[in-house]
Amino acid sequence: MTFLPAQFLKSISSFLSENQELFLESLSQAPVISLRINPLKKTFQLPYSPMCAVPWCPNGYYLSQRPSFTENPLFWAGAFYVQEASSMFLEQIFTKIASKKSLRVLDLCAAPGGKSTHLLSLMNSDSLLISNEIVKSRAEVLVENLAHWGYSNYVVTQSSPENLAKLEHFFDVILVDAPCSGEGMFRKDKEAISEWSKENVLFCAERQKYILSEIFPALAPEGYLIYSTCTFNRQENEENLHWLCQNFELQSIRVPLSAEWNIIEIEEKGRFAYRFFPHYLQGEGFFVACLQKKHTSTSSKTYKNKNLFQPLSSKEKREMEQWAFAENKEFYSYQNQIFLINPDHTTWISHLAEKAYIKQIALKIGKFKSKDFIPSAELALSSNVSKEIKRLELSEKEALQFLSKQDFSLSLGEKGWYLASYQQLGLGWLKNIGNRFNNYYPSEWRIRKSLF
């Protein structure tokens, strides 16, 4: 293992007391490939032969090899998300802590969207996910991945922890999957090895403390903080866990485990955490802990009715019902766009907009351009598309041509809008204008790889 930094090799005993040779050997092996199926879109046929299921995630599957996901239209339809198996343990934690009531959930460091899409699959429809990413380029990727996932109860924000913390006691659950030194990604990302240093580990540990301390005021009394990293060292993991409990009113939450999973439960000073080692299980390095804010005399802050969204008139509503069915939601206009939102969420989002930059709100239905209505790409990917909409089922080749925005021939009937689909899952919009059709798939989302 000469390719690993000498200081990292020296530090192994600080987080691993036995089987160190097996651990080092596992880092030279090929990474495990896994994906998680979207329960909202389970009608499709799994395109790959799964090796076996991820034991702690019912919708997670291991693959025997890595295919070209780009060349599968189901990937772009949001039928599944390619995600590292260890991080799917989030399901066990969220299932343990989530109540049936409506929750406001913050994924603070959310890009590219693996844990946010997972949370959406686990939350009830009355809950709202705020998926945040401060880096603009990464926030763009987050917006696209959440749109493909097809849910209607999330907001993407691009704000600092300091600004979000101004929403005092606002969030029932905060997930901080913190930027880290990335030791757990050594066999997946060789750059993580070249960028590693002891100094960077200490820098990451301090940055994580800063992020956690800044966002803590936004956690509601008796709310839950989930802290995770994809690294092995104690400074960014157990030591930060102890620092949290010493400096904030937090108590540790124990998560049930099956012995067959080979996840290592750490208990120190009555505090629990969970470690994932690649020589014990099929997955990469991962660390996670769950904490609950202790009940104090301070009550949750009440957020009064405030609404930036305007309800549609009866006539406008009837027109929108031709595009989408409401499903216990209402149509609203906001910033010249039409949205379909849970009425309770409009108040929450309005308060959020006072403190944070909102990049995307789901579910966006579309907008008017002159007298014409232009449906949104997000609507095409959602389960709220009206059954009255004309649909066009594409072959695999046609779907890839559509997603690449390449020219191809289609035989269309009457003029108007069509939902382009693959295996009955929406991809985007086509409009027949007579002698040709226009492809409304977003240019910034198109497949850039040469496929034909």
89 and 236 inside one domain? yes
Say which residue the tokens 């579910």 belong to. Answer: 363
Contact by Cβ (8 Å): 350, 307: yes
Report how far apart, in Å, the C-alpha atoms of 132 and of each of 94, 106, 234, 249, 429 are.
Answer: 18, 7, 26, 24, 28
The answer to whether residue 326 sits within a structural domain is no
54 and 197 inside one domain? yes
Q: Could you give the CA distance from residue 148 to residue 318 in angstroms, rounded to a whole number?
A: 26
281 and 429 inside one domain? no
Q: Could you give the CA distance from residue 323 to residue 366 in angstroms, rounded to a whole number?
A: 9
C-beta atoms surrounding 409 within 10 Å = 8
What CATH number does residue 400 fall under?
3.10.450.720
82 and 198 inside one domain? yes
The answer to whether residue 235 sits within a structural domain is yes
**Last residue within a domain, chosen from 236, 264, 293:** 293
Residue 127: CA atoms inside 13 Å, Cβ hemisphere, count? Answer: 21
289 and 415 inside one domain? no
Least Cα distance to 289 among 243, 221, 358 occurs for 243
The answer to whether residue 157 sits within a structural domain is yes
150 and 275 inside one domain? yes
The DSSP symbol for 86 reads: G
Phi, psi of 404, rounded to the nearest 5 degrees: -90, -5
The answer to whether residue 395 sits within a structural domain is yes
**Last residue within a domain, chosen from 293, 327, 345:** 293
Predicted confidence at residue 295, as pLDDT, reads 77
Report how far apart, in Å, the C-alpha atoms of 1 and of each of 30, 187, 452 are.
Answer: 14, 12, 40
The answer to whether residue 71 sits within a structural domain is yes
Say which residue the tokens 């019902």 belong to. Answer: 321
Predicted confidence at residue 73, as pLDDT, reads 96
The answer to whether residue 380 sits within a structural domain is no
Predicted confidence at residue 300, as pLDDT, reads 59
Residue 98: domain span: 6-293
Predicted confidence at residue 299, as pLDDT, reads 60
Predicted confidence at residue 1, as pLDDT, reads 46
79 and 184 inside one domain? yes
**Last residue within a domain, chosen from 293, 325, 346:** 293
Structural domains counted in the chain: 2
Q: What is the pTM of this model?
A: 0.96
What CATH number does residue 220 fall under?
3.40.50.150
397 and 250 inside one domain? no
Per-residue pLDDT 10s for the chain (452 aa) are 448 999 999 999 999 989 999 999 999 999 999 999 999 998 777 778 777 899 999 999 999 888 999 999 999 999 999 999 999 999 999 999 998 789 999 999 999 999 999 999 999 999 999 999 999 999 999 999 999 999 999 999 999 999 999 999 999 999 999 999 999 999 988 889 999 999 999 999 999 999 999 999 999 999 999 999 999 999 999 999 999 999 999 999 999 999 999 999 999 999 999 999 999 999 999 999 999 999 765 565 666 667 899 999 999 999 999 999 988 899 999 999 999 999 999 999 999 999 999 999 999 999 998 888 999 999 999 999 999 999 999 999 999 999 999 998 888 788 999 999 999 999 999 999 988 899 999 999 999 888 77
The answer to whether residue 299 sits within a structural domain is no
| 3-state class (DSSP) for residue 215 | helix
Contact by Cβ (8 Å): 177, 142: no
Q: Are strands 372-375 and 437-439 parallel, antiparallel or unpaired?
A: unpaired
The answer to whether residue 188 sits within a structural domain is yes
